[in-house]
């Protein structure tokens, strides 16, 4: 997979060139994460490239973004519960500390996670989890992608 889209994830999504996009939602794009050490990790990308924070959006669009975050979170929850009996919960985060565009993280959490990390923020996972090729998004995640996409469809119409 060509990685040029990574430098402009939102622009690439708007052009139909971001391979992680699962569905177009009201306020942006539901995308599966680049890394899958927690299978089902997904991201909601706002559909306006210049928007850096939730407060940059007009109130109606803010509410739409939060509603889409809820929809993606529930889709990931349903998919992960179906695919892994050790699924525990979903964590939702809007951080904005690194990437300069509005996005929300949807992290599934599992009973099989290391004991010292299962109750802590995902960001405390060691750096190798984020870079190891075995966790990189690829064809082995097609069933997961299809399951999350199907759940998104069941939870509401796409635009």
Query: What tokens appear for 15 in the block?
Result: 């052009």
The whole-number pLDDT of residue 99 equals 87
CATH number of 4-155: 3.30.428.10
Distance between CA 29 and CA 20 in Å, rounded?
9
pLDDT at 96: 81
On average, the pLDDT of the chain sits at 93
CA gyration radius for the chain?
15
Measured distance CA(26)–CA(112) in Å, rounded: 34
List the Cα angle 13/19/21 in 5-degree steps.
55
* Per-residue model confidence as pLDDT tens digits over 41-99: 999 999 998 999 999 999 999 999 999 999 999 999 999 999 999 999 999 999 988 88
**Model pLDDT, residue 148:** 98
Q: What is the pLDDT of residue 3?
A: 65
Interval 104-158: pLDDT, tens: 999 999 999 999 999 999 999 999 999 999 999 999 999 999 999 999 999 985 4
Give the domain ranges of the chain. 4-155
């Amino acid at each position: 997979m060509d990685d040029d889209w990574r430098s402009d994830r939102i622009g690439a999504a708007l052009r139909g060139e971001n391979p992680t996009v699962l569905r177009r939602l009201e306020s942006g794009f539901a995308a599966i994460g680049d890394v899958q050490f927690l299978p089902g990790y997904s991201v909601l990308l706002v559909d306006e490239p210049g928007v850096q924070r939730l407060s940059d959006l007009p109130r109606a669009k803010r509410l739409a973004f939060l509603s889409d975050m809820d929809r993606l979170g529930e889709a990931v929850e349903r998919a992960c519960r179906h695919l892994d009996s050790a699924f525990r919960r979903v964590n939702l985060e809007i951080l904005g500390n690194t990437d300069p565009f509005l996005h929300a993280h949807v992290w599934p959490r599992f009973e099989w996670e290391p004991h010292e990390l299962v109750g802590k923020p995902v960001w405390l996972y060691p750096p190798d989890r984020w870079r190891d090729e075995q966790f990189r998004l690829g064809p082995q995640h097609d069933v997961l992608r299809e399951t999350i996409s199907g759940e998104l469809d069941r939870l509401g119409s796409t635009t």
